Amino acid sequence: MQKTSACAKIILSGEHAVVYGKPGIALPVTNLQTVIKVEKADTFSFVADKELEEHEEKKLHDLYHFVSSSLKVKPMHKIHIQSNLPISSGLGSSASLTVALIRSLLVHHGYKLNDSKINLLAFEAEKIFHGTPSGIDNTVVALEKPVYYERGSIEILNLKFPLSFIIADTGIRSDTKKVVEDLRKRYEKDEVKHSAIHDKIEMVTRRARPALEQGHLVELGMLMLENHNLLKELKVSCSELDALVKAAIKAGAYGAKMAGAGRGGHIIALVDEPNRDEVFKALEDVSPRIIITEVK
């Protein structure tokens, strides 16, 4: 049985605003992976290395049937899923599962892998999880490269230096679809206010791009914090995320922000050699799970 896999992701800038056509920057997290093996079988079944809630199992069924019918392969497989990604935590677990599943079925049936085509199918499949996804999650996961994403247009970013991020979990799961829908309702009630915040997020993202590419840590860190404060104004943060951001900054991180849909999930903190241990220790005290990742 051949194994295929797909990485996790973090959003460096522009989540939520990206759903409204603004640019977003996402980075792959390659030390977290969903690994899938496919076995020929008489019908569809799966085994996963973690317990899934009923609604998650249902989504997995829907995803599998959508992908197998799109690829025109008979739904006769036993799918083995192994993953070190936390579910519903802003690290792209659904995109990672989707891309890994598409890859695994393609490999199993002897097809060639084409990441751009995989990305297009993953975008359609993501709708099962998120309703109206912007497309940024499936793109960064399928291409496994830093991306600048705006209304479906994708630019791969080349970083002058590798950057280190500490990812800290609140331990609270959150449902992206629900957070995005709630924000949509608030947007429809007061478009002027929300559009103005989206415009500010857009400015931050446009400035974050060269800072990321050139490795200007102080500038990038400042923009991350600005982004976090704007997400707070959109009411998608929560006290637990704010506390982790505060702890990271207090311990000397260049910047920190919630990453992903919010109302739970993770924060990311930008660090380098001199401040990494200090920030790690400070976050370890207040977060149930910490991951360090290097983005190249």
Residue 78, classed as helix, strand or coil, is strand
Which of the residues 225 through 264 are near ligand PMV (CB under 6 A)? Answer: 260-261
End-to-end CA gap in the chain = 31
Q: Which stretch binds ligand PMV (CB under 6 A): 40-48, 51-59, 127-135, 194-202?
A: 127-135
In whole angstroms, what separates CA 120 from the centre of its chain?
17
The answer to whether residues 256 and 230 touch, using CB atoms and an 8 Å cutoff, is no
169 near ligand PMV (CB under 6 A): no
Number of Cβ within 10 Å of residue 57's Cβ equals 13
Closest to 259 measured CA to CA, from 165, 151, 160: 165
130 near ligand PMV (CB under 6 A): yes
Give the residue carrying structure tokens 């997290």.
Answer: 29
**What count of residues does the chain have?**
296
* Residue at shortest CB range from ligand PMV: 260
Q: What is the dihedral of CA 136, 288, 268, 19, to 10 degrees?
A: 30
Closest to 55 measured CA to CA, from 178, 199, 183: 178
Interface with ligand PMV (CB under 6 A), residue total 17
8 near ligand PMV (CB under 6 A): no
Which of the residues 81 through 100 are near ligand PMV (CB under 6 A)? Answer: 90, 92
Q: Which stretch binds ligand PMV (CB under 6 A): 8-16, 56-64, 190-198, 222-230?
A: 8-16
Q: Which stretch binds ligand PMV (CB under 6 A): 47-55, 77-85, 126-134, 281-289?
A: 126-134
16 near ligand PMV (CB under 6 A): yes
What are the structure tokens assigned to 68, written together? 């197998």
Give residues with Cβ within 8 angstroms of 72, minimum separation 6. Answer: none
Binding track, positions 24-63, relative to ligand PMV; x by CB under 6 A: ----------------------------------------
Residue from 7, 13, 15, 128 binding ligand PMV (CB under 6 A): 15
DSSP string for residues in 203-228: HHHHHHHHHHHHT-HHHHHHHHHHHH
Least distance (Å) between residue 136 CB and ligand PMV: 5
Residue from 34, 134, 170, 237 binding ligand PMV (CB under 6 A): 134
Nearer to ligand PMV, 68 or 88 (CB): 88
Using CB under 6 A as the criterion, which residues of the chain lie in contact with ligand PMV when the complex forms? 11, 15-16, 18-19, 90, 92, 130, 133-134, 136-137, 176, 180, 260-261, 265
